[in-house]
Amino acid sequence: MKKLKLMSLMLFVSVFGASMYITGCSDGYIGNEDGLHDLDSRGGNNGKNGKKGMKNGNSGKSNKDLCTCIRDEYPMEDLSDVERSSLEKMREEEKLARDVYITLFEKWNLKVFDNISNAEQRHMDAILCLMDKYDIEDPAGNNPAGIFSDSNLQSLYDNLVNQGSESIKAALKVGATIEDLDIFDLIELSKSVDNKDILAVFDNLTKGSRNHMRAFYSQLLINDADYTPQYIDKELFDSIINSDRERGGTICSNNSGNKRGGKGKNKGKGKKGRKGNRK
């Protein structure tokens, strides 16, 4: 009888533990596969909900590491007006995503919003590194959460927060909408960009947004809801939600050929390889 009771207890513990694990994993976006993780995981702790590090639009030491990578491992190229405006647009658009997610996390306490708001901060950091490199004034400046220089983004932020405050399903649809817009804009803007560093950042931000879309869509399914794309086409949307979360690849590793080229002839320092890329 004692043996039977012990076996029953062990079975209960196993089932309970498994259920808790599944619940924890399904609660939100788990992981940091946005192409920036190897650089920003070493520092830049934003504190609870990422708010402390987010007040000034960057995440501390991690931003310095990322900026060093972008400055040293990519050539300094001429910047077109389109490239300049693209960086300004995406800096505030990534801020919009971050600010909405912070607000909706405070409203609904869903981990998916907390996790992805931190990822959006990294996206903002990457854009700011490019703006600093090319001496572009930051449109986000010291604006607090929910305040934007672009009047269109200001209206969009207000509308999305209102929508997301109606219910959990509505909030998750807002998350999917933001990632939908991010993916669309990054793809379209990349068509008019040829600077290697900007393309590398935009490519990794697009990958991150695809991962975020998968996270929000999976949460919508858990909550018996769905999402129809409003910006990207249905074919692209289906390919994203029906594929696994993307892992690996970083901004610097995309340009690793430059480092290897320099290493071969300069005793591992890589200076010659980088010099050859600069104008």
Using the predicted structure, report yes or no on whether residue 68 has a pLDDT greater than 80.
yes
CB atoms within 10 A of CB 39: 25
Q: Report the 3 state secondary structure along 42-82.
A: CCCCCCHHHHHHHCCCCCCHHHHHHHHHHHHHCCCCCCCHH
pLDDT tens track for 250-267? 787 544 444 333 333 333
How much is the pLDDT for 253?
Answer: 59
List, in order of start, the domains of the chain with CATH numbers.
32-275 (1.20.1260.10)
pLDDT tens track for 220-243? 999 999 999 999 999 999 999 999
Using the predicted structure, report yes or no on whether residue 164 has a pLDDT greater than 70.
yes
